[in-house]
Structure 1
Amino acid sequence: MVDHGADLGIKVEIVKRSPDDVGFVPQAKRWVSEQVNGILMLHRRLVRDYEALPANAESRVYWAISANLSRRLTKESTPTWRGA
């Protein structure tokens, strides 16, 4: 994984869990990626891998991120398409 990232020009840092930690302890950079994945999983089409083409799946991710950002910008507590 590190070699693949280096080939693409991406710096990959492996964060290891401390053996002294008990239970859930947020890790340095891993928490950010887990939070993003958790937000994306709120969208129905991204929970399962329905798409046949990677480009279709990528467009669904862009759609979910756009929906999340527009909800934050308009300060809506729930998506408007679900009804109030």
Structure 2
Amino acid sequence: MHDLREIVDAILYVNRTGIAWEYLPHDFPPYKTVHSYFTRWAADGTTETIHGLLRGKVRRAVGRDTEPTAAIIDSQSVKTSSNVPESSQGIDASRDVSRCPSGGPSNAPTAGSCSTVDSSVTTKHHQNTPVPTSTGP
């Protein structure tokens, strides 16, 4: 049996470096053993329990409650219609809007014109309807 500290260090090494399990350096326990512990702990909730306990300890150390009191709701970037006022468009500074996903309204002015929309909100995009003009008296 291997020391559990060596097992945890090996798991953290794989996580930090992103290497495949089979390329784990030989100064750690065999990769099949390390991977076996990792999958067992993930399946039985040990990893989640440790994460929760450590998160609580860190939060207490900085003077916060052990459990978060707020949540962040995810959003997605979509192409914006040219007839939507800028004042009603949201922005998300963490998104690269020049790479918006396709599928926005067909009348979007440029590929880089996007708006952040709450994923729980359903929006309708209306096509520009031509206004009939008078041809004379």
**TM-score of the alignment, normalized to the shorter chain, above 0.5:** no
Max Rg structure: 2
TM-score, L = length of structure 2? 0.18
Ranked by relative contact order (alpha carbons within 8 Å, sequence separation 6 or more), the top structure is 2
Indicate the structure with greater strand content. Answer: 2
Indicate the structure with greater helix content. Answer: 1
TM-score, L = length of structure 1? 0.26
